[in-house]
Amino acid sequence: MALYVRVRGPNGVEQGTVEDGQVVLGSGTRITLLDPDTMQLAEPYELLTPLGAPEIWCAGVTYERSRDARVDESAVKDVYTLVYDAPRPELFMKDAGMRRTVSPGRPIGIRGDSRWNVPEPEIGVVLGTEGRIAGYTIGNDVSSRDIEGANPLYLPQAKIYAGACSFGPAVFVPDVAEPTFRLSLRVTDEWGRIVFEDETSTSTMRRTFTDLVEWLLRDNPVPPGSILLTGTGLVPPDDFTLLVGHFVEIHVPEIGTLVNPVVRASELIEKEHAR
């Protein structure tokens, strides 16, 4: 087993491994972790996404809980049941060139034209050369449920916008194929009060990681280093929505905890234009 991170420091961007509460960089520098779960580093080091993914893809309706939620919210009731039961999975591109993806600890965005925004905690499969699975990470496929529910053709608008994706804090390389992961989600408000929490396991997935990767690569030239988010089994209740000031924490014991505060997507765009 191995756990890989990527940091920015005085020597630029470096890859490192996590060993005994420290990050060991390729240059030999050792950095003590302030928080082993979130991989928080002391200044002047900054934790980045564990790799710069050229493309990020998503699979949908891979858990029964996700299917049920989509059926409940959708104006087209049977489409998600058909996808859940079909051999071919739902696949869509979430991002390319990391333009809509933020690092651990950085703000994720919610749309201003949506009243129902949710986190979607997922296991991300990291693709290596020749389509092999090189490792696993934690992903957050932030989504606008009311936009997708109004019409399935609105899926890109519900899924693809500024700050709609985050992954990290590390890439986990296991000793076994098709490992099982337990994911925990906790959302807190600006005062630290828990507003939602739940957990699930990839053992309840309808499809395997390998099956999803095989479908993604059919006649599709996905470059190595890309990530496939494999769907969520954690769906907050209908009366829950992400708000500015919330913090989203997704924990997987083998990988760590992915933490992101919530802001308006428009704020992220304004900051980008101001640079």
Q: Looking at the predicted structure, is the pLDDT value of residue 130 above 60? A: yes
Q: Looking at the predicted structure, is the pLDDT value of residue 2 above 90? A: yes
pTM of the prediction? 0.94
Q: Looking at the predicted structure, is the pLDDT value of residue 75 above 70? A: no
Q: Within this chain, do residues 234 and 168 fall inside the same structural domain, yes or no?
A: yes
Each residue's pLDDT tens digit, 198-208 = 999 999 999 99
Q: Looking at the predicted structure, is the pLDDT value of residue 161 above 80? A: yes
CA distances from 108 to 9, 90, 170, 244, 248 (A): 23, 24, 18, 10, 9
Each residue's pLDDT tens digit, 170-187 = 999 999 889 999 999 999
Share of the chain above pLDDT 70, in %: 95
Among the listed ranges 9-13, 39-43, 61-65, 102-106, which one has the minimum average pLDDT value?
61-65
Q: Within this chain, do residues 32 and 139 fall inside the same structural domain, yes or no?
A: no
* Pair 247, 92: CB distance under 8 Å: no
Q: Looking at the predicted structure, is the pLDDT value of residue 83 above 90? A: no
Output Rg (C-alpha) for the chain, integer angstroms.
18
Q: Within this chain, do residues 174 and 266 fall inside the same structural domain, yes or no?
A: yes
Q: Within this chain, do residues 100 and 233 fall inside the same structural domain, yes or no?
A: yes
* CATH number of the CATH domain containing 234: 3.90.850.10
Q: Within this chain, do residues 236 and 254 fall inside the same structural domain, yes or no?
A: yes
Domain of 33, in residue numbers: 2-47
Q: Within this chain, do residues 18 and 74 fall inside the same structural domain, yes or no?
A: no
Structure tokens at 1: 């087993």
* Model confidence band, residue 70 (pLDDT cutoffs 50, 70, 90): low
Q: Which residues contact 124 (CB under 8 A, 6 or more apart)?
A: 56, 136, 137, 138, 139, 167, 227, 228, 229, 230
Q: Looking at the predicted structure, is the pLDDT value of residue 8 above 80? A: yes
Q: Within this chain, do residues 14 and 148 fall inside the same structural domain, yes or no?
A: no
* Model confidence band, residue 82 (pLDDT cutoffs 50, 70, 90): confident
Give the pLDDT score at 101. 98
Domain count, the chain: 2
Amino acid letter, residue 135: G
Whole-number average pLDDT of the chain: 93
